[in-house]
Amino acid sequence: METTKLPPSSPSSPTTSFSVPSAEKVDGFPRRSMRRARQRRSHSSSQFRYQSSQVELTPLPLLKDAPVAELHDLFCKKLQQCCVLFDFLDCVADLKGKEIKRAALNELVESVATSRGVLIEPLYPEAIKMISVNIFRTLPPSENPEFDPEEDEPTLEASWPHLQLVYEFFLRFLESPDFQPSMAKRYVDQKFVLQLLELFDSEDPREREYLKTILHRVYGKLLGLRAYIRKQINNIFLRFIYETEHFNGVAELLEILGSIINGFALPLKAEHKQFLVRVLIPLHTAKSLSIFHAQLAYCVVQFMEKDATVTEYIIRGLLKYWPKTCTQKEVMFLGEIEEILDVIEPSQFIRVQEPLFKQIAACISSPHFQVAERALYFWNNEYILSLIEENCQVILPLVFATLYRVSKEHWNQTIVSLIYNVLKTFMEMNSKLFDDLTASYKVEKQNPAVTLKK
């Protein structure tokens, strides 16, 4: 079985496709981009190889026509029929068989979604077997080793026409009013869940979307698996952070966690706090942060809303991992800080204000105007402004010198005018303090030795 779809080379034909008319080679580069438009490639996993011999499928009678007495038997036969796998890279291979399986899957989906009383106990192992055979596979190597989820087109799963229906069936199965967790838990076990979690690394976003919903349902219905699922997600994240820096499904897993955190009982267990401090906060260091930052920030804020005492861990954690060279990430961090400050308790704010505003001052003096701008926007936020006002005595001395200096030096006019507004706000808040600081700033500037002696 060939798994890649590059056109076969014909050794006899000389490669003319690369030669470029000399007129075009003025600068050595062809006028037209040589990089061939990236085709939407699709990929199929190696599982196909492990099927010993191809079985010829024959259509079975329709489920809706079956007499009640034979319905379960027929349902079971259809499930078994759907265990046959097809080669989707060869798009013309065994079209008849593919169509029979597709039709059968459609029928199964519909049946489980609409009719009551279909899901009886003997069908559970058969259904889970069919799902496992179809979805569990070693994901293929990425076609593009430097795959950048933001720039590149993902490689799509070739067998999606069948796979989608299998996922759909699984979802309907879990959501069916007849679904009995007590029966399912014998087949949807730890090993099953582990394999399900590994699939989140799929490059195909459609697959990850299904997985997200499905895992959410599993977490919701099979209570015995919850701790295990959390632990395995932990492991996936730790591996992502400290070992591989590569996992396609981080955003999806975080989205599920967001709602899991929402349901945590109070007081927070040590396990959950550890997850926050040792997994969620370090996730901020990832190179690909932008892909899952929204979901991550949501999780962090959820934690704070649950239990305000974690605020200090969070802010100090973010300050520890504050980006040093990547301004794009710095803007994301500032966004997250604002989300956090939006819900922070004033008592917690006091605990972190010093290191936090030192960092904010550093951001304001960033030569990158987007960073400075993002930091200065904090003063447009009513709630943050009220916190600053209450603690003006501490905060103003921390940021004053920076504001004063940057207002004179920054190359970007927008920043300069934003700073004027901030200075004006401070002046109105506490004119006495403001004047004192202005005076001492000027003295220090004229006589740097005073600062040194201090």
Partner 1 sequence: AAEEGGPCQSKMAGADGDDSLYPIAVLIDELRNEDVQLRLNSIKKLSTIALALGVERTRTELLPFLTDTIYDEDEVLLALAEQLGNFTMLVGGPEYVHCLLPPLESLATVEETVVRDKAVESLRKISQEHSPVDLEVHFEPLVKRLASGDWFTSRTSACGLFSVCYPRVSSTVKAEIRQHFRTLCSDDTPMVRRAAASKLGEFAKVLELDYVKSDIISLFTALASDEQDSVRLLAVEACVSIATLLPQEDLETLVMPTLRQAAEDKSWRVRYMVADKFSELQKAVGPEITKNDLVPAFQNLLKDCEAEVRAAAANKVKEFCENLPEDNREQIIMTHILPCVKELVSDTNQHVKSALASVIMGLSTILGKDNTIEHLLPLFLAQLKDECPEVRLNIISNLDCVNEVIGIRQLSQSLLPAIVELAEDAKWRVRLAIIEYMPLLAGQLGVEFFDEKLNTLCMAWLIDHVYAIREAATCNLMKLVEKFGAEWAQNTIVPKVLGMANDPNYLHRMTTLFCINVIVHCCGYPYREITTKQMLPVVLKMSNDQVANVRFNVAKSLQKIGPVLDSNALQTEVKPVLEKLASDTDMDVKYFAQEAISGECLSSSTIVDKLNT
Q: Which residues bind partner 1 (CB under 8 A)?
A: 1-12, 14-15, 18-20, 25-30, 34, 46-50, 138, 140-141, 191, 194, 235, 238-239, 242-243, 278, 282, 320
CB of 360 to partner 1, least distance (A): 16
| Residue 150 to residue 31: CA distance in whole angstroms | 26
Give whichever of 25 and 442 is closer to partner 1, judged by the CB atom: 25
**At which residue do the structure tokens 């949501």 appear?**
298
CB-wise, 245 or 435, nearer to partner 1?
A: 245
Residues in the chain: 454
What minimum distance in Å lies between the beta carbon of 281 and partner 1?
10
Closer to partner 1 by Cβ: residue 4 or 114 = 4
Measured from the CB atom, the residue of 136 and 187 that comes closer to partner 1 is 136
Measured from the CB atom, the residue of 33 and 413 that comes closer to partner 1 is: 33
Shortest separation between residue 439's beta carbon and partner 1, angstroms: 24
Which H or E run includes 71? helix 68-81
Decide whether 319 or 429 has the Cβ nearer to partner 1. Answer: 319
Instruction: Record the tokens describing residue 304, joined without a space.
Output: 């704070």
- Cα Rg of the chain, angstroms: 30
Q: Say how far apart CA 123 and CA 125 lie, in whole Å.
A: 6
What whole-number distance in Å separates Cα of residue 435 and Cα of residue 433?
5
CB 397 within 8 A of CB 437: yes
Residue 148 DSSP one-character state: -
Minimum distance from CB of 217 to partner 1 (Å)?
23
d(CA 193, CA 209): 16
Between 3 and 115, name the residue whose CB sits nearer to partner 1.
3
Buried residues in 251-285 as b, exposed as e (16+ CB within 10 A): bbbbbbbbebbeeeeeebeeebbebbbebbbbbbe
- Specify which residues 157 forms β-bridges with: 43
Least Å distance, CB 274 to partner 1, is 8
Closest CA to 280 of 309, 302, 265: 302
Q: Shortest approach of partner 1 to residue 196 CB, angstroms? A: 13
Nearest approach, Cβ of 122 to partner 1 (angstroms)? 28
